[in-house]
Amino acid sequence: MIQLESVSKRYLTKKALKDVSLQIEPGQITGLIGSNGSGKSTTLKLIAGLLRPTRGTVLIDGETANRRICRRVAYLSELDSYYSFFTVLETVDFYARTFSDFNRVKAEEMLDFMKLDRMQKVKHLSKGNRGRLKIVVTLAREVPFLLMDEPLSGLDPMVRSSIIKGLISFVDLEKQTVIITTHELQEIEPLLDSVILIKNGVILDQKRVEAIRRNENLSLSDWMVEKYGD
């Protein structure tokens, strides 16, 4: 389970998270949604142990999230952080050497599924294919927690739909918990079990997506607009 207890994060003068407390149950896909600058990436980086909270604690199955938590947490950054001179295959090899939990067979299956050319250099890949490669090397790690920061950003609708299919088929929810940040609410909605809504560093609500549809009769984006107000 992921637990944030009274977590605040300040960057110099900017308060990015304000006294956030939340729990994320295992075996679910959770969407972390909110407008630009609301604190989504900050939250994921805190869970990935890449940032330290200014106040409060972040616990992953009871263990404080620090740099060592990367043994249990795979993090897909919103930035491109690969060696551009590597080929696709060399990138996969690099990850396989770096992470002992990397499932090479699964990575090969995903390369085929994503139709990635193993010999192409990363610097020559289209943005969509770089996005696919990011998903491959993140999901090939057999870790209990998968964090994905904007995995669909800037991708065309065809690519988004193929990536969503990949997400469904390559995640094992018996063993894994997934958190995704995205602005592509319509596309991601069918994938999500629950959603956390954040605004100006404050959690506005946390709900099961089915409850939003059934009890409030709203799509995720209409729910977000209603909750956000002005």
Ligand X SMILES: Nc1ncnc2c1ncn2[C@@H]1O[C@H](COP(=O)(O)OP(=O)(O)OP(=O)(O)O)[C@@H](O)[C@H]1O
The least distance separating ligand X from the CB of residue 11, rounded to whole angstroms, comes to 3
The least distance separating ligand X from the CB of residue 205, rounded to whole angstroms, comes to 16
With a CB cutoff of 8 Å and minimum separation 6, the contacts of 201 are 9, 15, 16, 17, 18, 20, 38, 39, 42
- Scanning 9-17, 55-63, 94-102, 185-193 for contacts with ligand X by CB under 6 A, the matching segment is 9-17
Query: Which of 14, 71, 124, 127 contacts ligand X by CB under 6 A?
Result: 14
The least distance separating ligand X from the CB of residue 146, rounded to whole angstroms, comes to 17
Size of the chain, expressed as the number of residues it contains: 230
The least distance separating ligand X from the CB of residue 69, rounded to whole angstroms, comes to 18
Q: Which is nearer to ligand X, 120 or 153 (CB)?
A: 153
DSSP state of 74: E
CA separation for the pair 35, 79 (Å, rounded): 18
Q: Which is nearer to ligand X, 33 or 212 (CB)?
A: 33
If one counts every other C-beta atom within 10 angstroms of the C-beta of residue 12, the result is 4
Binding mask 29-58 for ligand X (x = CB under 6 A): -----x-xxxxxxx----------------
As a dihedral over the C-alpha atoms of residue 193, residue 33, residue 46, residue 64, rounded to 10 degrees, the angle is -30
